[in-house]
Structure formats: C-alpha cells, structure tokens
Structure 1
Amino acid sequence: MYKLSRTAQLSAVRSRSLLKLSCAIGLALGAAAAATPASAAEVTSASAANRPKVATQDGTVKGVIQNGVSVFYGIPYAEPPVGDLRWQPPKRKAPWTNVLDASNYGPICAQVTTLGPFAGPPNANEDCLYLNVFTPNVAPTGKGKLPVIFWIHGGGNFDGASTGYDGTKLAADGHTVVVTINYRLNLMGWLSHPALNKGVFGNYGIMDQQLALKWVQRNIDRFGGDKNNVTVGGQSAGAQDTGMHVISPLSQGLLHRAIYESSVPSTIPTAEIALARGIAMSVAAGCGSGADKATAQCLRNLTPEQVETLAGTQSATSAYITGPFVDGTVITQQPWQAWSNGQFAHIPMMDGRVQDEANFGLANTEYFKDPQVPYTEADFTSYVTTTYSGNAGPVNTPPTYPAGTVNKVLAKYPLYAYASPQLALDAVQTDPGACRDRHYTKILGPQVPYYAYEFDERTAPTYYPKLPGFQFLAYHTSDIQYLFPLWHGGPQGKIHELNKKQAALSDQLVDAWTNFAWTGNPNGQGNNPWPVYKATGSKPVILSQNIPVLTTMTDAQFSAAHKCDFWEKTLIIPD
C-alpha cells in the first residue's frame, strides 16, 4: 500500500512533476446531496458530557464525535447576507454568549435545486455562511499543531454545498484539521450592477471565502490546527476559486499551499462583462439599469426564488450566470497574466484532472433527454461544427477559431477510431481542457514546487442510473468520493461502498493529499513515485494513480494521449 512517511517530508527539498492518477478526479458541476451528520456516519455520543467543546473568539461551540473525529458543524463565520447585506461584502459574525450547538450542518446557500440525481436539498437559504471543522485533536495551543485543509466545494459557482464533504477520513487518516465552507453562489455571489457597486463589489463568493480564511487565522488553533500551515484546495469551480486566492492580493498570507482538482484557472470575465450581465439581469427582473437607490432596493426586494429563477435552470445556459471576474480590487488581473508574470503567491501547488472530464457532462445531458437515447454520429458532428465554426461562445474560450478548424478537428478525431460516437465526444470535449491545463503547468512548473497528475480509474461508483448505451469512464467528480466518503451519496447520505482495490486507492490519495498538506510534498520516505514537474531539464513526469499501484507517465505521453500538439496550435491560449 502507498503509505507515506512525514518524517522525510519535513526535511526533504522537493522539485516538480506531473502526476497521472488512474482514478477519477473531476470538475464538479453538481453538489453532493446533503445529509445530516447522523446519517453520514455514526455519531459516537450525543450526550452533553461527551461532546467536544471549543471556545472560539466568537463564542463557544459544542460538536460531536464522528468516526473518532471531533466534528463541529454549522459554525457561522459571517452575519446572514440578507436585507441590506445582500450583495455586500460579508460582515464578520458578531460574538454570541450561549453555547452554540454544532451538531448539524447549517443551511446551504440559495441555488437551483432541479439538478436531477445530484440535486441539492430544498432548504436553500440566504442565511448560509457557515463552516464545518473536522479535527482529530482538539488542543487549544502549544506544539504539535496540525496542518489545515481548507476545502472549497465545486458546482460551477452556481450550485453545491459543504454538506457532501465528510472530512473525517482526511482528518483521522491524515492527521489534519479539515475545514469545509458554504459561500454565496450564482447571482447571489457574483452580481455586478451600478446600483450596488460601491467600493469592493461583485466577487462576493470570493470575499466570503476570504472571510472564512480569516476565521481560520483567528480560531483554528483552538481546534488543534496550525494557522501558518493552511492548504486551500477545491475541485472544479472550487479549484478555480482556489486559484483566485493564489492571485488575489487580499488573500496573501491566508494560504500556504494550493490544490487544484480538475481546473487551473486561466481566463475569467472582465469587469465590463460582469457589469453587462448584471444590468441585463436587473432589466429582466423589472428593476431597470439605473445606479440609484430605488434600483438597488428593487433588486434587494426580490425573493431568493425570483433571483434563482432568473439565474437559470440545470442547463446552465443563462446569460446571467457568472463567477469570479477581474474587478480591480479582489481580483486585479487575469489568472493567465498572473501565472506568466509571476504575480501570485509562490507556494507549493498540486494540480490534476480526471482522464475523461467530459464524461460527466455527456452523462448529464443524456440523463435529461426525453427519451434517453445514446449519442449518434450526428451529435458528434454537430458539436464539432457548432463549437469550432468561428464563435467559441463561452468567455473562457477564445473569441474565434481560424477558418478551417472544423475540418481539422474532424480529421484529428475520426469517428472510425472510436468504439462509439459517445467516446469520440468524450475525447474531443476533454482534450482541449487537458491541454490548456498542461500549458499553464509548464508555465508554473519552473516557478514553484508543482506536482501534476491525471486520475484515470474508470470503475468508480456513479450516482447516475444506468443510461442507454452510455459508457462511464473516469468522469468529472468521480474522484471526490475517494477523499470525501459521502460524496455521491444521494439524498439519504448513503455512502457508496468501495471495493478493496478502490479502498486501497482511496488510502493512497488521502496519504498523498495530507502529506502535501503537512510538507508541500505528496511523497514519503522510501516511496517517492511522484516527482515535481519541471518544464526544463529532466523529463516532466505525470503521476498516474491507478488500481492497484501508482505509476508515472512522461509529459510527452500525456501530450500524445490528449493530442496537445494539435490543441496548442488550434486553441488561442494566452501566456
């Protein structure tokens, strides 16, 4: 089994390498369904005498013991962002005097709740700025403080919650303190409008996360954590947001390592784009485009349900949906510019993707088809033609592609080379993102200790029912359950059982992730399969986590598998 010693890590000097994980790690678009702690795992004792209690700077909290770990659910870190505080920077929670019962999650943030098998629970609420702490060692001060893993959930920044992320395995097996959070989503978290834009504005979701990181600085030592050793990580949109903290001047000093699962941020909307979207939403809501107090009041009078209706449905096609953007204060430049000019926190980083990222989106699309039917050759041709005919569409892609790109893509991905049109679609949709990430890995690799991987285990449990003719691969989000056991558990919080080989892989991942939190290096004494990624000098290496062992592949092998020579010439990737 891949068991890593921290003794060697604490003294070793690390470099870089690209890791290929043969299990699924992906970009989560859907939130794991919420579950109460009692349904997620056995709570050892509910009696007041045995429940752990911690006095934070804001007030005392009383948690529960779960799987041998002290867990504190639903700790408020900000005042509810309601009324005049809607679409304002978060305000630190006022101290409380009574003991807070921290035995249940707080409400999730307002969001669309019609996402099929991975829908969020119906208790979406604007009063949602809560965090959870999982610690194996409640100790107020002194030596032996534990590294902190601060996890940002995915979901496209319009969906998701902390409720699906059970941190007990990372805390117990890796001897770390795990913090998971809720933050404002969708229009509640990212709306920019002239009637609201006074001072710092728009990136409210990022500001929520920053306030939670400041809570960690003030309080985590009370839970046995080390405020000077905080690893910020996330998956999908959570990885994008992690990158925002690496480049934001307002997050400096709040994090010491970074983990990107399924997304290195590159290009985000400008302030002008965000403002135009906000005005369009306001007009659609009947509030107009003015910058006066009446317009602001009209927007704040909208119910959460009205806001979410405007935001869009599961198709995520709404013009109003947004996420982090360059506002000049919280985020001062494009991520790709920061990576290229070195203006970011120079801290150890770990980055990777699942092998078949697009498999998730394809499954989701087929799930909502009526009737559910397999993908066809026409579907493949239509996708390529629509995507590469000149207008790339989404803001995270180039504005246009050169003439003739459609024919080049069709020639590079001939349908006869794939067992089904679905597998051809998987490849043509996955590879551009994989190559874009590799491009920035090559830029970041020489600047900081950087570990890269690909997760390609294709047998992970799925929350989808069987779909006609559909082949599940290493799809976006499938890796999460190897780190957070409750993920994909469904509304009842039923943990998917991993078989022995999958459980061994889960142990390997937890070892690597928590070793990285301890030292900035995922390896251990006598077992160092994962070198740092270097773009020059030695051959770059990608770590492949597969069942039953970890293996490596060269950067050149990764590039060939995803046709990166073709995509780097085809995509207009800023650097």
Structure 2
Amino acid sequence: MISSSFFVPHERLYPRYTRKVMMGASLALAALGAVSSIAAPQPRSEYTSPIVTTTGGAVRGVRENGVNVYRGIPYAAPPVGELRWQPPQPPKPWQGIREASKPTASCAQVTTLGPFAGPASIQEDCLYLNVYTTGKTGGKAAKPVIVWIHGGGNFTGAAKDYDATKLATGGTDGIDAVVVTFNYRLGLLGTLSHPALNTEGHPWGNYQTLDQQAALLWVQQNIARFAGDPSKVALGGQSAGAYDVGANLISPSAKGLFNRAILQSSPAFFAWTPSAATALTAGTGFAVAAGCPGSDSATAKCLRGLSVARILQLQGTPTAGGSYVIGRPFVDGTIVPMQPEEAWVSGKFNRMPVMGGSVRDEVTFFTGINEYFSGPPQAPISASQYPSMTAPGAFCIYCNANRKMPEGIAEQYPLSDHNGDPMIAYQRISTDAARCAELHVLQRLAPQVPTYAYDFAYRNAPFYLPKMPGYKPGASHTIDIQFLFTGFHGGELGVNLDQMSGMPRGLNSDEEKLSHQMIAAWTHFADTGNPNGSGDAPWPRLNEGNDGRYLVQDIPMSSKSVAAFRADHKCDFFDAQLQY
C-alpha cells in the first residue's frame, strides 16, 4: 500500500464509509466459500474473464482484446434520497457473483457538448467503476495502476466512452498496467454549496471530488486482486479530469491515495479555481430558483426532494450550461483548502511526480462546438465579428478566472498574421493564454517534484466533429484521447472523420506508432514516475528556466525549449495579463 496512515484522515472525512467498507470486506471474504461453489459448475469460455473477489463481493467480467475487463463495479452506494449531496458511502456487499460485463448508466447530465458526450441522462445511481487488466505479471511484481478521470466540464461525460484495453497492455513499447475508469457525480449534483447542506456536519460542496477519492480508496483496497500494485497509482485525467487531478493534488483528504499525477489538457485548467463565495452564490441562486428558499433542514429536505429532471432543467440545456453550474472544484477550505497558486508557492500539496501538457490547438474544440450549434446551416466566425470578439472585456475562455479578453489582444493577433482567417486567429488567443498558464503551473512544480511537460502537436488525426464551413480542428482539445483510449470518438453520436475528406477513419500506421509511444510514456510514468522508465530521454525532465524542454508529440517525436514554447505562445505578453 502507498501508506498505512491514509485510513486515518479518511476516517475523519468519511466516518461511515471507512467503517462500512471494512465490514463489507469481512462479509465478502466470509462468503467466498459460497461464491466458489456457485462459480465451480459454470464453464469458462474464451470470452469470460476470471472471477475476482473484491471487498464488496465477487465479480465476473469479459475478455476483450486479450484484456480482462470488469465493468460496473460499485465503489459507493447510490447517492439518492438522503444520500444526495452527502459524501459517498460504501456500497452494499452482495452475495454470489456479480456479472460485470456491461457498462452502467452515465451520471445525470443534460449539456453534452454536441457529439463529445451523451446521451443525456437522469440517472443518479451511477457511482461505478471499470477495471482493465491483462491479469499477467510475467513473474514480476504487481503492475502499476492508472486511474482515469473523464472530462466534460464536470457536467457531462462518462467512463463508458473510454476503452482502456490497449492502454492496459502497454502497447508495443510500454508495460502492462491496470487501468481504472469511473463515473462521478456531475453538474449541480456533483458540486453544490448551500448553507442548508453545508451545516449538516459532513464534508460539503465538492461532492464529485469526494467521489473521486472514494474511487481511489476502492483502488487501494482492491486493486491487488486485479494484479495491480497499490503503491504505484497514477491519477490522470483529461480536460475537467485534469483540473480534478489538480484538486486532488492539493486536497489533504487525497493524501496517500495516489503518487503520480497526469494532467492532460491541461495543467492550466487548475491555475485558479472558484472561491467559496462564488460557489455559495451559485448554489443559493439555484435553490431559490428551484423553489427551496431558506437555509434550514426543511430547505435541505426540499432540495433532496427535487426530481433529477427539475435539477437538470435548472442546470442547463443540451447546448449550454446555466449560471448555477460552476463546473469545477472550488475552495471550500477543507476538501480543497486553498487556491492552487497558494498551494504551489507554499509547497502545501501532495508531492509526487507530475506529467502534464496539452494540444497545440486547444480552442478549436470550443469554436467547433459553437459552430456545430450555429445551424443548420452552420457558420464560422466571420471577419466582421472578429473585432467585437477580441475587444477588451469580451469573452475569452482561458484568459484569467474572469474569462475576459485583456487589453492589447487585437494588436497581438491581427487577422493578417493568420491568413485572414478569424477562426484560426480567435482560437489562437485563448489557446496561447492557456498554454502560458500551463507553463506557469508546471514551472511552479518543477523545482519541487519531478515534472514532465508535453506539447501534442500532431494536426492530422481523425476527429469526431463533422466537417463544417471554415472549420479546421488541427490538434484540437480531446483529439489526443484516441491515442490512449482505443477508438475514442466522444459520445454515441461521435464519428471520427478524416480532417481533409470528412470520411470516417481510424488511426493510420504512423498514428498507431505515435499512439504506442504515448502509451509507453503513460505506463512507464505510472510505474516509475518517469515517462522514460529511467533516464532523461526521449522525454527530458522540465526545469524552471528557459532552457527547460517540452516533449513534442508529433510524427516524428521531437522536443523544444521553453524559450521556443514561450515565443510560440506569446507568453511575454500573457505573463503580464494572466492573474493567479
């Protein structure tokens, strides 16, 4: 185990969780004889994975692509009724063998970002995880573990969309790993601050962060049964998953639950986070709109009595989130005790190796989503719109916590520098701001812990947004996921298309090679805290100076200096604008 002491803070955080889960383990082990007698007469086909007995009971999965896959294992009780807006509680142990071959429902969500996620769901009973393992150790020690937090703004997305069979094998150049994906509460059900709930005597507000820690606790208690090593746990996530990893990096209650961190698109997303006051204003506004005014126990009962459909109605629409959703962990003082910058500067975070970076054209995802919902017929940003969209105070998704364009943007990003294309110029602004914030975070960490930075620069991979007028995905946000998780195409309506022809396709042979190189880095990092396995090549460790280096994930791979990175993304300009 990573640390025998981690049970102490978690007993304080989840007093019922820890006691009940240990009781559940005893019940499950006591029932093992009954489980064996049930399992014995059943034939094992090539499609059936071995039965594994967890602390909650026995599970039987399926074998896919040479990997044993166990889907839909409960890691917490359904957060329904009185357990809504409560810390996660242990699942009820079961007798016999639980079939774990099919994915479970997504957590409740309404805004699915076009084809990125979906369909919409009203399911609160959703706290389940999936385990991918080859089951082999090759005579060596148990395998490293990658626990993955899906993205989606913390209001959409689902673990079922992430096929980790290839990642679990280590590809052609890496090592076997056990991969765990899981659902966690989303939107208002996952993050809500309200005085009626906050004064009930339990950890409050950041319920989805507590879900993530409950999943990590399950991993500590169970992953050895799947050939995983609980002393080598990498917590990774993409997009919202990346800033959830950041929240857990600074959360005292996550101490000892993982010891490597992967922030994929992007460390910048956790450069700042909402304040307790911001979250309280949003939560109180939601309650009043829902017809639950006040701040006493009757208000809490009213909130817990709302239908999921009513909550989602106030949360947003299929095309956009509403004003009550803050979309990320906030500073509650306990689970997330301080702003990230304070944690990095003071050193008050869970110290471990960190790997992070993002894609070359992050914001084409968001300009693409906007165009997707602009029609039919769909229309790109026009040259006539560009001046107002870049004026000081206009919306900028990654320009500071207030998301406003700073002064001087129009002069820094004239259309003439971007072939007169307002779509390219506009996305470059916010992408560059995010990349400079990313570098700031990573260089805060670099003197304190082993830190590795990457730039996913490959611009020709297939992508799941449709071909649209004036739209060029390039190296768009989320496009790199398919290089780790086989065939990732967003949600059920996503189809990966060639960027030139607009026709469906998978990865070609050169792209598969890049995929294997990335999988090797991710699995080696989970194993040793170094994406090379050992040494400093091909991926150099970052330092805090301009001579530090980024790994460039492209065909072929290369590296670039921090000085070149800063020039590419206008960090001399943004350093004076970004506030932490």
Q: Which residue of 2 aligns with 1:379?
A: 385
CA distance in 1, matches of 2:230, 2:74: 19
CA distance in 2, matches of 1:435, 1:145: 38
Q: 312, 317, 328: which is aligned to 2:333?
A: 328
Matches within 5 A, 1:483-522: 483-488=484-489, 490-491=491-492, 497-522=506-531
Structure 1 contact 113–121 (Cα < 8 Å) conserved: no
Describe the shift of the 1:82–1:396 C-alpha distance in structure 2 as closer, same or farther (beyond 3 A). Answer: farther
Can you list the C-alpha shifts for 1:385-407, whole angstroms capped at 9, x where unaligned?
1xx33x878898255989xx54x
Q: 259, 271, 285: which is aligned to 1:256?
A: 259
Describe the shift of the 1:557–1:46 C-alpha distance in structure 2 as closer, same or farther (beyond 3 A). Answer: farther
Q: Which residue of 2 aligns with 1:183?
A: 184
Can you list the C-alpha shifts for 1:483-528, whole angstroms capped at 9, x where unaligned?
0013116528978511111111101110111111111111157981
Q: Which residue of 1 aligns with 2:316?
A: 312
The range that moved more, 437-446 or 505-514, is: 437-446
Q: Which residue of 1 aligns with 2:499?
A: none
Describe the shift of the 1:194–1:338 C-alpha distance in structure 2 as closer, same or farther (beyond 3 A). Answer: same
Q: Which residue of 2 aligns with 1:148?
A: 145
Structure 1 contact 138–222 (Cα < 8 Å) conserved: no
Letter in 1 for 2:430: Q
CA distance in 2, matches of 1:481, 1:205: 25
Letter in 1 for 2:253: L
Letter in 2 for 1:147: P
Q: Which residue of 2 aligns with 1:562?
A: 569
Match of 1:377, SS state, is coil
Match of 2:390, SS state, is helix
Can you list the C-alpha shifts for 1:436-492, whole angstroms capped at 9, x where unaligned?
111112211111100001101111111111101212210000000000013116528
**2:98 maps to 1:135:** no
Structure 1 contact 70–138 (Cα < 8 Å) conserved: no
Q: Which residue of 1 aligns with 2:6?
A: none
Structure 1 contact 52–62 (Cα < 8 Å) conserved: yes
What's the CA shift for 1:303? Answer: 1.0
Q: Which residue of 1 aligns with 2:368?
A: 363
Q: Which residue of 2 aligns with 1:281?
A: 286
Q: Which residue of 2 aligns with 1:222?
A: 225
CA distance in 1, matches of 2:536, 2:404: 45
Letter in 1 for 2:165: T
CA distance in 2, matches of 1:49, 1:367: 40
Q: Which residue of 2 aligns with 1:210?
A: 213
Structure 2 contact 273–401 (Cα < 8 Å) conserved: no
Q: How many residues align?
A: 519
Can you list the C-alpha shifts for 1:507-553, whole angstroms capped at 9, x where unaligned?
111011111111111115798121100114x8101111111x21011
What's the CA shift for 1:115? Answer: 3.6
Q: Which residue of 1 aligns with 2:29?
A: none
Q: 52, 55, 67: which is aligned to 1:54?
A: 52
CA distance in 2, matches of 1:395, 1:271: 20
Over the residues paired in the alignment, what is the CA RMSD in angstroms?
A: 2.3
Structure 1 contact 267–396 (Cα < 8 Å) conserved: no
Matches within 5 A, 1:86-97: 86-97=84-95
CA distance in 1, matches of 2:534, 2:271: 35
Q: 69, 72, 75: which is aligned to 1:71?
A: 69
Structure 2 contact 115–490 (Cα < 8 Å) conserved: no
Match of 2:236, SS state, is strand
Letter in 2 for 1:412: Q
CA distance in 1, matches of 2:47, 2:433: 56
CA distance in 2, matches of 1:393, 1:422: 14
Letter in 2 for 1:65: R
Letter in 2 for 1:63: G
CA distance in 2, matches of 1:445, 1:400: 27
Q: Which residue of 2 aligns with 1:540?
A: 548
Q: Which residue of 2 aligns with 1:39?
A: none
The range that moved more, 47-56 or 147-156, is: 47-56
Structure 1 contact 233–242 (Cα < 8 Å) conserved: yes
Larger relative contact order (Cα-Cα within 8 Å, sequence gap ≥ 6): 1
Letter in 2 for 1:341: S
CA distance in 2, matches of 1:259, 1:138: 24
Describe the shift of the 1:494–1:417 C-alpha distance in structure 2 as closer, same or farther (beyond 3 A). Answer: closer
Describe the shift of the 1:237–1:57 C-alpha distance in structure 2 as closer, same or farther (beyond 3 A). Answer: same
Q: 241, 244, 247: which is aligned to 1:241?
A: 244
Provide the TM-score with structure 2 as the length reference: 0.85
Describe the shift of the 1:72–1:50 C-alpha distance in structure 2 as closer, same or farther (beyond 3 A). Answer: closer
Match of 2:463, SS state, is coil
The range that moved more, 258-267 or 292-301, is: 292-301
What's the CA shift for 1:116? Answer: 2.6
What's the CA shift for 1:98? Answer: 2.0
The range that moved more, 50-59 or 473-482, is: 50-59
CA distance in 2, matches of 1:269, 1:57: 36
Structure 1 runs not aligned, ≥5 long: 1-44
What's the CA shift for 1:570? Answer: 2.1
Letter in 2 for 1:297: K
Provide the TM-score with structure 1 as the length reference: 0.86
Letter in 1 for 2:154: N
What's the CA shift for 1:313? Answer: 2.1
CA distance in 2, matches of 1:437, 1:500: 31
Q: Which residue of 2 aligns with 1:32?
A: none
Q: 353, 357, 360: which is aligned to 1:348?
A: 353
Q: Which residue of 2 aligns with 1:412?
A: 412
Structure 1 contact 486–493 (Cα < 8 Å) conserved: no
Structure 1 contact 456–474 (Cα < 8 Å) conserved: yes
Structure 2 runs not aligned, ≥5 long: 1-42, 497-504
Describe the shift of the 1:474–1:324 C-alpha distance in structure 2 as closer, same or farther (beyond 3 A). Answer: same
Describe the shift of the 1:263–1:343 C-alpha distance in structure 2 as closer, same or farther (beyond 3 A). Answer: same
